[in-house]
Amino acid sequence: MAKMVAQKKYLNPYTDFGFKKLFGEEGSKDLLIDFLNQLLPDYHQIAELSFKKPEKLPSTPKQRKAVYDIYCQTKDGQRFIVEMQKAKMNFFKDRALFYSTFPIKDQAKKGAWSFELVPVYFIAILNFHYDEAEELRKFRRDVCLKDQDGEVFFDKRHFKFLQMPLFTKTENELATHFDKWVYFLKHLEDFDHIPAIFK
């Protein structure tokens, strides 16, 4: 007789359906805003956002398009790409850089234009270790363009990578709102009930 597989009580955020159900619908917009605000500096906190079309077409038919998990924009124009990647993907940092070029090109205006850009954030939630040497791995990596002295040169293009397997805190060790979010995402599918700490 085939062994019965226990049905999970809560959705799996590492699936395309689960991630978009959790963060990518109008009814869950407040959750997305709250999560993003844990990753953003004080001067880029989000009050409102709207979802944008997740498919970005190339300039010519021979070029590659980009399809985002979630693509949204704040009231003052900041763009956010949020990607959940379950399976290991080589050259993921290269992909992140490529994907982030579309929201930059979207800002180009015909005619007279000053070239002033609004910030673009690429946020990746990864259920694997991307291609880094083991001793260099970090759970969270915040990246922007800096000069040879480590000072920020350009503050309008940001990358935030979360390597979820490297987050090992237990429920009793959750010290911040951000910790709770990461723990929630990592363990949601396995909960029998939502722990009191999240209510």
pLDDT score at 176: 94
The number of distinct structural domains making up the chain is 1
pLDDT score at 58: 67
The greatest distance separating any two alpha carbons of the chain, rounded to the nearest whole angstrom, comes to: 72
CA–CA separation, 70 vs 124, rounded Å? 11
Whether 5 is covered by a domain: the verdict is no
CA–CA separation, 138 vs 112, rounded Å? 43
Q: Which residues of the chain have pLDDT under 50?
A: 1
Model confidence pLDDT, tens digit, residues 108-126: 888 898 999 999 999 999 9
Whether 1 is covered by a domain: the verdict is no
Report how far apart, in Å, the C-alpha atoms of 94 and of each of 62, 90, 142 are: 19, 9, 16
Whether 4 is covered by a domain: the verdict is no
- Rg, Å, the chain Cα set: 18
For residue 150, the one-letter residue type is G
pLDDT score at 60: 65
Whether 6 is covered by a domain: the verdict is no
Could you tell me which of 75, 74, 104, 84 has the C-alpha nearest to residue 23? 84
Whether 146 is covered by a domain: the verdict is yes
Domain, as residue range, for 173: 16-105+117-198
Tokens of 43: 């001067």
pLDDT score at 136: 86
Whether 89 is covered by a domain: the verdict is yes
pLDDT score at 153: 96
